[in-house]
């Protein structure tokens, strides 16, 4: 079983750990550089990306994490985790730190107040079977992707949210996977299985 860390500074850590175990990995919480050094891959959970980036600095994890990512460590970020992995976050605060592991520009809280939390079914490249039920909570979307970034899922067209149609909500660049929604909250571990597979390939 691969050992996959869940960044445990803030956010929905336990939910990710449960899903990773169900998907065939051993999950450990990562709070210290020594723990980061032990893992084969890392999940960055949902939560609040500004808070998490501040805590990464406080816990002296920011530089070691950037080094491991630059070295090719697989990572999976959901929601706030996607924001942290991105090259740039729009509407971010000035003190927000980016891990720059994904060549994408994300927009924080992109879906706006009217629909700040919603659920829907998505087609997700690389996930077999029925459409994936996705839970969005003050979610970002991906506004720009660089070469080498594969788009895995987009918001489908619906009558009630035309501005959201076709927005990119899941991407992969090499061993780095990110979703704007929360696959850890639905009991469907297919996205975590995809990530465990990416870790096993390395
Ligand atoms: N809106 C949060 C942020 O900007 C992300 C929300 C989430 O992770 N559910 O960091």
Q: What residues does 44 pair with on adjacent strands?
A: 77
Query: What mean pLDDT value characterizes the chain?
Result: 94
182 is catalytic: yes
Annotation says 184 is catalytic? yes
Q: Best mutation site among 91, 111, 137 for ligand 1, i.e. most ligand atoms within 8 A of its Cβ?
A: 137
The pLDDT tens digits for 129-164 are: 999 999 999 999 999 999 999 999 999 987 667 778
CA distances from 151 to 17, 35, 63, 174, 177 (A): 25, 31, 28, 12, 10
Catalytic-labelled residue, pool 16, 184, 189, 192: 184
Burial class (CB in 10 A: 0-12, 13-18, 19+), 146: exposed
Q: How far away, in angstroms, is 137 Cα from ligand 1 center?
A: 7
Identified catalytic residue from 16, 79, 189, 192: 79
Per residue in 67-107, pLDDT (tens digit) is 999 999 999 999 999 999 999 999 866 667 899 999 999 99
66 labeled part of a ligand binding site:
no
pLDDT at 10: 95
Which one has a higher pLDDT value, 164 or 113? 164
Distance CA 178, CA 156 (A): 18
- Counted domains in the chain: 1
Which 3 state secondary structure label does DSSP give 132? strand
Q: Is the CB of 10 under 6 A from ligand 1?
A: no
- ∠ at Cα 176 (132, 4), nearest 5°? 85
Give 15's pLDDT tier (boundaries 50, 70, 90): very high
Query: For a pLDDT cut of 90, what percent of the chain falls above it?
Result: 87
24 annotated as a binding-site residue: no
**Structural domain containing residue 141:** 3-201
Residues contacting 160, CB < 8 A, separation 6+: none
Can you give the pTM of this predicted structure?
0.96
Calculate the CA 75 to chain-centre distance.
Answer: 8
- The pick from 106, 117, 140 for probing ligand 1's pocket by mutation, whose C-beta has the most ligand atoms within 8 angstroms, reads 140
Q: What is the pLDDT of residue 91?
A: 82
CATH code (residue 57): 3.40.50.880
Instruction: Let me know: does 157 contact 164? Beta carbons within 8 Å.
Output: no
Q: From the CB of 109, is ligand 1 less than 6 Å away?
A: yes
**What pLDDT score was predicted for residue 163?**
79
Q: Name residue, tokens 């788009």.
A: 151
**Residue 53 alpha carbon to ligand 1 centre in Å:** 12
Q: How confident is the model at residue 116 (pLDDT cuts 50, 70, 90)?
A: confident
Structure tokens at 109: 């809280």
């Amino acid at each position: 079983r691969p050992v996959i860390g869940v960044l445990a500074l803030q956010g929905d850590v336990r939910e990710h750990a449960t899903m990773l175990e169900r998907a065939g990995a051993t999950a450990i919480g990562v709070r210290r550089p020594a723990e980061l050094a032990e893992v084969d891959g890392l999940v960055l959970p949902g939560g609040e990306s500004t808070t998490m980036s501040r805590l990464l600095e406080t816990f002296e994890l920011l530089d070691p994490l950037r080094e491991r990512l630059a070295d090719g460590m697989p990572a999976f970020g959901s929601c706030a985790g996607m924001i942290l992995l991105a090259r740039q976050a729009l509407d971010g605060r000035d003190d927000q730190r980016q891990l720059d592991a994904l060549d994408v520009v994300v927009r924080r809280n992109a879906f706006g107040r009217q629909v700040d939390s919603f659920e829907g079914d998505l087609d997700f490249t690389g996930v077999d079977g029925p459409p994936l039920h996705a839970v969005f909570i003050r979610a970002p979307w991906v506004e720009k992707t660089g070469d080498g970034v594969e788009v895995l899922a987009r918001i489908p067209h619906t009558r009630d949210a035309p501005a959201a149609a076709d927005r990119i909500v899941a991407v992969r660049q090499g061993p780095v996977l990110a979703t704007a929604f929360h696959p850890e909250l639905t009991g469907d571990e297919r996205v975590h299985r995809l990530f465990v597979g990416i870790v096993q390939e390395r």
